[in-house]
Structure 1
Amino acid sequence: MTENRLLDLVDSRDFRTLFIDELGWGNPDQPDLAFDVDDETFTLTQVAGYKGLRIWHCAEIPPRKTQRLIDVIVGKDNHERLVIFSSEHKQEWRWPRRAQLGSANAKLLVHEYRVGDRTTQLTERLHAIELDFDEDLPLVVLLDKMRDAFDKEAETASVAAARLMGILYTELEAANVDDHDATLLLARLLFLLFGDDADMWKPAGLFEQYLREHTTPRTLHTDLHGLFEILDTPEHKRRHLADSPYAQFRYINGGLYADVLAIKKFSPKFRDTLIEACEFDWSIISPAVFGSMFQTVKSKEARRHGGEHYTTEENILKTIRPLFLDEYRDRLNRAWDDKAHLTKLHNDLGRARYMDPACGCGNFLVVAYRELRAIELEILRRRRDLDMVDAESKKVERAQLSLDVTGDIQVTLDHFYGIEIEEWPARIAETALLLVDHLANQQMAVEFGVAPDRLPIAIAPTIRHGNALHEDWESLLPASDDVIIFGNPPFNGGRTMSVNQKLDLNRVWGKGMSPNFDYVTGWYKKSLDYYGSYCGRWAFVSTNSICQGEPTADLWQPILNAGWRCRYAHRSFLWTTEATGGAAVHVSIIGFDKNSTPRPQLWTYAEGGKGRPTVVSVPGISPYLTPGPPVLVRSRRQPLSPVLAPTVFGSMANDGGHFFLDQDRYDSVQNDKVALEYIRHFIGARELMHDTVRWCIWMPNCDPSEVDSSPFLSEAIGNVRDYRMESKRVATQKLAATPHRFGEVRQPSTDYLAIPRHVGEHRRYFVATRFSSDVICGDANSLVPDPDGFLLGILSSSMFIAWMRAIGGRIKSDLRFSNTFTYNTFPMPAVTDRQRRSIIEAAAALVAAREAHPGISLAKLYDPVAMPEDLVEAHNFLDRLIEKLFGRSVLGTVEDRQEVLFRSYANLTGQETLL
């Protein structure tokens, strides 16, 4: 079977042969249907079917309004259907889809086909629904295959659209068009390109025709200026002849074509690319393409500097579905057979207002608007169907029912607001929303045969160009209980923030600002100030740092004090963006409201944040995104539990590397007996985990005469002195007076526990180990005297790493040990002498299990998927002892342990009222 064979059958309207003989569908099982609509009779013939999905053919193409009415009537007895309206030269295929508007625009739902067209996407759609003759495919799988084909087409279109916009922008740069004018020009052209392909005016392709027939490379700049002036002028005020090339262009208004635009002469390539862009079908692009176009005109370095990350549609829906969409959908389902409740839901949709105060190119607003219009369309459609049921009971002809619901639309663009710091994405956001509004109206025309005419533009979104941390949100949109805020603010942390961004943060937070706040926290504070005593709801995509580590309590305390609760959260996951070379970051999505229902939902990701999440409904979500009450943990100078001894950092050399010896250097000093007296084994984090050998010069106290007698020591100490003297830090310069000593000496005189600063996210246990006092511990580790191994037992337990996972800061997704935060706050209960001895014995057994595998590093021993069985058993025995101390003999999951730990912490810190 060739593609031409399929299209030949389509052209000849031999649909029965096409579907039954070529695509493997079944024979028809229904007689012809005849309908009288507006004094005309229309006949539909079933040509094929498959498991209740029937394909009907009408050998004429009535107006869209009539088509929709016919489709509705057919649908009363044919829930899944494909209706083909055809004439000699044209066909319109109504696909059997009930997906939201978000899945495709109107042109995908009603596919127009011109007889003889061999560039069509129709063959892909036909292959999507092709069946093997012995295949018993479930209907739902068949429909999913069709949706996949549609999505693929839209994604391909997005890539092509982004490429074309990038070329146009590059040509403008080469012509020295300034950024403001380039931004405005491309936004205007985008609107025209889209309008040409999306039936925004008649005839279709009007702008392309104007470019080809009435412009030249030499005059394009003046030709476009003339066109833009016409688009900004009402028809009754225009002064041009009826045969002017401008005569058919409609008045656009809305401000898009109002500003003065200094267009300079373009290169011939600009016109060629613009015509190429006209040949592309802009009506099939997905909303995410606008973000892609934004990316094509900005470098990776510029994105990194601004902290910008371009959100995929999947991540947008993770944010807005649990914030409001799921609730609206649930209400729609519950009100399905109740017109009064449907009307109330519709009115509630009309009252809500939506704001993205870091809107970028508007993707959050675009997707939200699209989904809300889809819900509204279902409400209108269901009310119409209920009206038809009432009409049947009253013997009213269905064809007499009015389908004009354009006056009933309550979700409108003027309910959507944004703030964006850069002009280009702000313009794209405005344009994107106008275009998606047109797609939504097209879908309404498919369903009802009529749709509102949005030209000239009178209803538009409000996108403010400015710094959201400077702007007065109240002046943009007055606060109320009906305002919903969401978005993806910049992610920059303390080390990557610019000076101006730090000033922005100080301006917002004032005295309440933590020195460890990320830039994104400015949007949290602005939201708190904006809502005040109002309820509303809000959610942001944020770096996972806002619910990890020491800044968490400082950020969440004012949120909780203001009466907000965590409505839902996506725990840490790996960020994916639409941007080429986008930053690899781990993020969380957190939504807030002041309600008591619904129960909070918590999504947890496996595989380092890359896997599919699991979601659970929980009584509450803590600031650390664990199930439980809003307990806050704050760092301490001393351990909360009296059974824990204080930890310190290991000794810091501050030597420029001159105190350290690798194997070759160590071998070279074997004959220097004086030097050998001062060389010790050294343990940093890498040496601890990977069992590598390293030495250091250790002489906290020394005899100067001995140093002078060792050329090796003399050279090393001299190099350290020079390094410290040349430092720009005054404190380091002072250390040059004692060049034989480490810069900071903290070596204990007894056996100690070395605690690495980081541990991999996937480790089942925190890996610390004990050393004798003659092994020097570096500052990449913390250390604590542990003469008997008791603390090794505590830190090696599942309870301790569960505490780290719950509250600790992270490097990407790796767990970070903090002596003041994760260790000093560990809510370890008191222990009896007998319990202490049991833990010491269990720790000794743990060491024995490690030593039973000589030559294998701790990193390999603690491979998350390949730990030796005897080592696992040693840990299990230790866990049972530790968990008994917390009052539970068996804790099966990390979440179980974290619940017990937070309760213990709350009791020890006087936060029992939160439990």
Structure 2
Amino acid sequence: MTPTVTADTARRMQDFVAYWGTLKGDEKGESQVFLDRLFQAFGHAGYKEAGAELEYRVAKQGGGKRFADLVWRPRVLIEMKKRGEGLANHYQQAFDYWLRLVPDRPRYAVLCNFDELWVYDFGVQLDEPMDRVRIGELPERYAVLNFLFPQEREPLFGNNRVDVAREAADSVARVLNSVIARGEDRARAQRFLLQCVMAMFAEDFELIPRGFFTELVGDARQGKGSSYDLFGGLFRQMNTPERARGGRFAPIPYFNGGLFRVVDPIELTRDELHLLHRAALEHNWAKIQPQIFGVLFQSSMGKADRHARGAHYTSEADIMRVVLPTVVTPFQTRIDAAGTQKELRGLLDELAAFQVLDPACGSGNFLYVAYRELRRLEARALLRLRDLSAPGTPLPPTRVSIRQMHGLEYDPFGAELAKVTLTLAKELAIREMQGLLGNTGLDFDQPLPLDNLDDRIVQGDALFTPWPRVNAVIGNPPFQSKNKLQREMGPAYVRKLRAAYPDVPGRADYCVYWIRRAHDHLQDGQRAGLVGTNTIRQNDSRVGGLDHVTAHGGTLTDAVGTQVWSGDAAVHVSIVNWVRGPQPGPKHLSWQVGDRQGSPWQSVEVPVINAALSAGTDVTAAQRLTTNARSGACYQGQTHGHKGFLLSGLEVGQMMRDPKARPFLHPYLTADEMIGNQGSTPERWVVDLNGADDLFSAMNAGTAFERLKREVEPEMRAKAEEEREKTGSERGPRQAHYQRWWKHWRGRGELIEKIASLPRYVACGQVTKRPIFEFVSSGIRPNAALIVFPLADDYSFGILQSSAHWEWLKARGSTLTERFRYTSDTVFDSFPWPQSATPEQVRAVAGAAVALRGLRNEVMKRQGWSLRDLYRTLDTPGKNPLRDAQERLDAAVRAAYGMPAGADVLAFLLALNARLAAAEGRGEAIVGPGLPAGLNAADFTAADAVRPLG
């Protein structure tokens, strides 16, 4: 039953408050009894009975353990401090604990100093607690801690600043998009609205009189002046060093010559003024974090621009996964270990000189967080210095400056946003430092005039712009795949990129260039932390980036192998932090398991993080085996290239009446149909004239040719002409294809010839999340979404369907979200087949394979299931006949390999790959894919296969 407000609940809360009044607030002596009584107040017999644990061990970066006061998975982490302790100084500790508490990471984190509870939801909002509750308020406000009840319900928070920020950003973005939609220049509109946003921050920070800008908007709405005149007058005065001698703008101080250097106001409509007035009136902009500009930046970009440049907003929790290990932890460790004033003063000097670069800074969110954390480190060092100094000893002034932050940004508006983000960060930091340091007698920075950051935030393409010398490089480079780079950036840009970075493989993702350049820019002891698509740990992208890092003096210190991206992009990402030079001690590697926000996490401490960002055996060094590559046993299916090649069942029935067309019509199977349809049957047919080398031959196909001429040829012609106009060349790929427009884009003639000589072939989805292989009748044409193995025997099927092959696929293939992509060059060409399997072992594998398929077919027929339905049952715990059949197959395959019991599969296969590559290098023959020589294929070839209907 869901907890409700009852007299019993109120009584327990009052009893807890009464008990609390008897405590002294001793962190060591009273924390545990305080926590036990808190759990009793929420209806438990105690913390232990609820399933919570005290003094929970948490791995510490660099080695060792720390102890969280209470962990109740997956609900809450509670960290206790002594009475009177400032909780703002400890949120980072709580975040670090939270980050490493995987799997079943608690959703909430609570800091408590016996008088006050600060409640965080780090997945939503990092820097600010979702709410603060004094212990004495619990009888009225316990709903903030609703997650502590035996039956959990959503807490009622009063400080969700992320939602407020998004609402505020949405209001401004709607004004901006409205102005652009009615014809105003985008750059002009962006600058003007950004000046309006700064004015709203300024009035709520009281840098200008409170409510001043809101009154101007109200006057414009009521017709007491035009927004063009009123806003223009304000912005010009904000850019004038001398105060106005009179008039309405006399109270306005000088800001700087940066954001307000160009004042070009826009006359707003009544509806636009209404939206802006609401944004100014309904939100306290002094409480809105500058990360709002990330939302504003993304919403203000045209969709084409955002997609082409791969721009995506990064959550603060993900930013901290970079800033914490790259900037914070190295300093924090030294500050906490410092035992003398000299050491601390030296660290303060280092903090004041520490320079940070984000070479794809967007709206400046990474730089904002890095600056904020440097200021907090400075406060931590000053407080330690005070503790080590004689009473009354003056402390050195605060010196960390936003001018230590450097950024490069391709989009001009993004660069301007980054400058504003940092200028606001300075004001927020001043206020926070005053709260953290209290009455220390320190002088703090003056907020005005704002720093001019034109020489710190530079607009330009970071891959072709000089980088400043810094101590750390952080950021989130553009998400742009290798496949879309040329189409969206243009051939000329790609040629320029390849010429500038010739050592990066051409098939590497765009973000790899940032990894490469960042590492080459670092000097010994300097660090970098970057977010990238999760392909950076695979194949050519890994070779161009992380392999280069580790081969040239880099040590990966902290990494996320893969996680669901927290932004709008439907991708999985990796996060890597490294130092140029050695780094002693264990390294922290984590990864998310699943394809949704909130999927569980795993984490390990390892002595070395490999370039594959994998906790298992690193098989990136596996070599291509010539025998496999030349075997002709692995292909991608056909790419038809135009929907006009595809036929529905009704269309096929009509066209089959034409004897000339009939030989060129074939059932056409996709991966989704093979895995998702009952019986794995194809739904469509394909016209295949790939054997026709000239127009006359193609015309012999009768109505099949006529269909292609009607449906395909006009679009092929248009694409060829478009390419000619765009490139100015007569030799583009689409122009060449137009000379054989009746053929598929990739007809795979060699594959079709091979399967034509077989009764059936093995296929799997090119992209898949589960190990599902199936036999397909050779009368069916395979689509490009299938990987095809022209092998008809059950032994070969058994090897491919085995867990050994699946583990190799996962380790050597690339990924798309949480799904794995089968790549013939990296997976199949390097996969070592058993070298000395006996006939009995071959029969055992084949028999287990036949039994597995027989079970699958029987269950699917009985239940009306597809292969996808069947394999999803493996996600549910419990005895499962399919799992048992797979285990019997795996045991037979291990025996064929001669793999010892309990052996690490990947380690065994990697060692075998190395031996076989060495043997080939000596000119020796090895056993490649397929049934071993000397065995009769007919004895190992059953009849089952996917067949077309009818």
TM-score when normalising by structure 2? 0.70
Match of 1:755 in 2: 763
How many Å separate the matches in 2 of 1:79 and 1:554?
Answer: 50
Q: Which moved more, 1:687-696 or 1:132-141?
A: 132-141
Q: Which amino acid aligns with 2:827?
A: T
1:802 alignment partner in structure 2: 807
Q: How does 1:184-195 map to 2 (within 5 A)?
A: 184-195=191-202
Deviations 1:761-803 (A, max 9, x none): 2x2xx22223565565555434334343221111111121112
Match of 1:786 among 774, 788, 791: 791
Task: Report deviation, 1:626.
Answer: 1.4
- Structure 2 counterpart of 1:375, one-letter code: L
Is contact 2:562–2:591 with CA below 8 Å preserved after alignment?
yes
Match of 2:561, SS? Answer: strand
Q: What's the CA shift string for 1:171-195, capped at 9, x where partnerless?
A: 6547865444433333333333223
Q: Which residue of 2 aligns with 1:416?
A: 405
Which digits, 9 at most, give the CA deviation of each residue in 1:506-554, with x for residues without a partner? 33442334332322233233324433x6552222222222223444334
Post-superposition shift, 1:420?
1.3
Alignment of 1:690-701 (within 5 A): 690=677, 691-694=679-682
Q: Residue 615 of structure 1 aligns with which residue?
A: 603
Counterpart AA for 2:162: E
- Cα offset for 1:473? 2.8
The answer to whether residue 204 in structure 2 is matched with residue 197 in structure 1 is yes
Q: Check the 8 A contact 1:20/1:26 in 2, yes or no.
A: no
- 2:571 is aligned, of 582, 585, 591, to 585
Which residue in 2 is equivalent to 1:872? 883
- The yes-or-no answer on 1:516 pairing with 2:502 is no
When residues 81 and 650 of structure 1 are mapped into structure 2, their CA distance, relative to the original with a 3 A threshold, is: closer
Summarize the Cα distance change of 1:364–1:503 in structure 2 as closer, same or farther, 3 Å threshold. farther
In structure 2, what is the equivalent of residue 448 of structure 1?
438
Q: Contact 1:880 / 1:889 at 8 angstroms: preserved in 2? A: no
Letter in 2 for 1:865: D
Pairing 1:377–2:387 present? no
Does 2:165 correspond to 1:165? no
> SS in structure 1 opposite 2:607?
coil
CA distance in 2, matches of 1:517, 1:607: 25
Structure 1 distance, partners of 2:601, 2:656, is 57
* Cα displacement (A) at 1:850: 2.7
- Answering whether residue 534 of structure 2 is matched by residue 544 of structure 1, we say yes
> Which residue in 2 is equivalent to 1:882?
893
Letter in 1 for 2:801: S
Of 504-513 and 365-374, deviating more is 504-513
1:416 shift after superposition:
0.3
Checking the alignment, whether the CA contact within 8 Å between 1:509 and 1:525 is kept in structure 2 is: no
SS of aligned partner of 1:862:
helix
The one-letter code of the counterpart of 1:544 is N
1:363 maps to which residue? 365
- Change over 3 Å in CA distance of 1:823–1:191 after alignment to 2: same
Q: Distance in 1 between matches of 2:743 and 2:473?
A: 62
Question: Counterparts in 2 of 1:736-775, with a 5 A limit?
Answer: 745-746=752-753, 747-761=755-769, 763=770, 766-771=771-776, 773=778
Larger radius of gyration: 1
CA distance in 2, matches of 1:879, 1:788: 17
Q: Render the CA deviation track for 1:809-852: whole Å, top value 9, x for unaligned.
A: 23443222232331111134523335434333332332333344
Q: Deviations for 1:670-699, whole angstroms, at most 9, x for unmatched residues?
A: 999999999876654344323243486999
Shift in Å at residue 427 of structure 1?
Answer: 1.6
Q: Which residue of structure 2 aligns with residue 709 of structure 1? A: none
Q: Deviations over 1:289-331 (max 9, x none)?
A: 1212223433444422332111111221122223332333344
Is 1:566 aligned with 2:566? no
- Within 5 Å, which residues of 2 pair with 1:106-505? 130-132=137-139, 152-170=159-177, 172-173=179-180, 178-200=185-207, 204-205=210-211, 217-218=224-225, 220-234=227-241, 237-238=242-243, 240=245, 244-253=247-256, 255-257=258-260, 259-267=261-269, 275-279=277-281, 280-335=283-338, 339-387=341-389, 390-391=390-391, 401=392, 405=395, 407-446=396-435, 447-449=437-439, 451-457=443-449, 459=451, 461=453, 462-469=455-462, 471-474=464-467, 477-478=468-469, 482-495=471-484, 497-498=486-487, 500=489, 502-505=491-494
Identify which of 862, 866, 890 aligns with 1:857. 866
Query: In the aligned structure 2, how far is the partner of 1:332 from the partner of 1:185?
Result: 44
- Offset at 1:439? 1.2
CA contact (8 A) 1:536 1:593 kept: yes
Q: Distance between the aligned counterparts of 2:604 and 2:318, measured in 1?
A: 18
Q: Which runs of 5+ in 2 are unaligned?
A: 1-9, 25-32, 39-79, 96-108, 110-114, 118-127, 692-699, 718-734, 920-950
SS in 2 for 1:441: helix
Q: Which amino acid aligns with 2:459?
A: G
Pair 100,196 (structure 1): closer, same or farther in 2 beyond 3 Å? farther
Q: Could you tell me how far apart the structure 2 residues matched to 1:221 and 1:23 are? A: 59
Which SS does the other structure have where 1:571 is aligned? strand
Residue deviations 1:226-250 (CA, integer Å, cap 9, x gap):
444443344xx55625xx5444433
Per the alignment, in what secondary structure is the counterpart of residue 562 of structure 2?
A: strand
Q: Are 1:473 and 1:530, in contact at CA under 8 Å, matched by a contact in 2?
A: no
Secondary structure of the corresponding residue to residue 825 of structure 1: coil
Letter in 1 for 2:317: E
SS in 2 for 1:473: coil
1:756–1:368: structure 2 CA closer, same or farther, 3 Å change rule? Answer: same
1:355-391 alpha-carbon deviations (Å, 9 max, x no partner): 111111111111121222222222222332343xx54
Distance 2:489 2:690 in 1: 48
In the alignment, structure 1 residue 527 sits paired with structure 2 residue 533: no
**Hey, what's the Cα distance between the residues in 2 that align with 1:669 and 1:168?**
56
Question: 1:485, CA displacement in angstroms?
Answer: 3.2
SS in 1 for 2:830: coil
Partner residue, 1:844? 850
**Percent of residue pairs bearing the same amino acid type:** 22
Cα distance in 1 between the residues matched to 2:196 and 2:738: 60
Contact 2:762–2:790, Cα closer than 8 Å, also in 1: no
2: CA distance, partners of 1:698 / 1:245: 77
Q: Deviations over 1:115-138 (max 9, x none)?
A: xxxxxx999856997435999999
Cα offsets for 1:23-44 (capped at 9, x unmatched): 955574599xxxxxxxxxxxxx
TM-superposed CA distance for 1:903, in Å, is 4.6
Question: What does the per-residue CA deviation read over 1:264-289, in whole Å, with 9 as the maximum and x for residues that have no partner?
Answer: 54445666655544433111112321
Which amino acid is 1:809 matched to?
S
- Deviation track 1:83-116 (CA, whole Å, cap 9, x = no partner) reads xxxxxxxxxxx98884359999xxxx999xxxxx
Q: Secondary structure at the match of 2:475?
A: strand
* Match in the other structure for 1:37: none
Code of the residue aligned with 1:252 in structure 2: it is F
Give the corresponding residue for 2:112.
none
Q: Are 2:83 and 1:80 aligned?
A: yes
With over 3 angstroms needed to count, the CA separation of the structure-2 counterparts of 1:286 and 1:887, relative to structure 1, is: farther
Task: Kindly provide the CA deviation profile for residues 418-438 of structure 1, in whole angstroms up to 9, marking residues without a partner as x.
Answer: 111222222221111111211
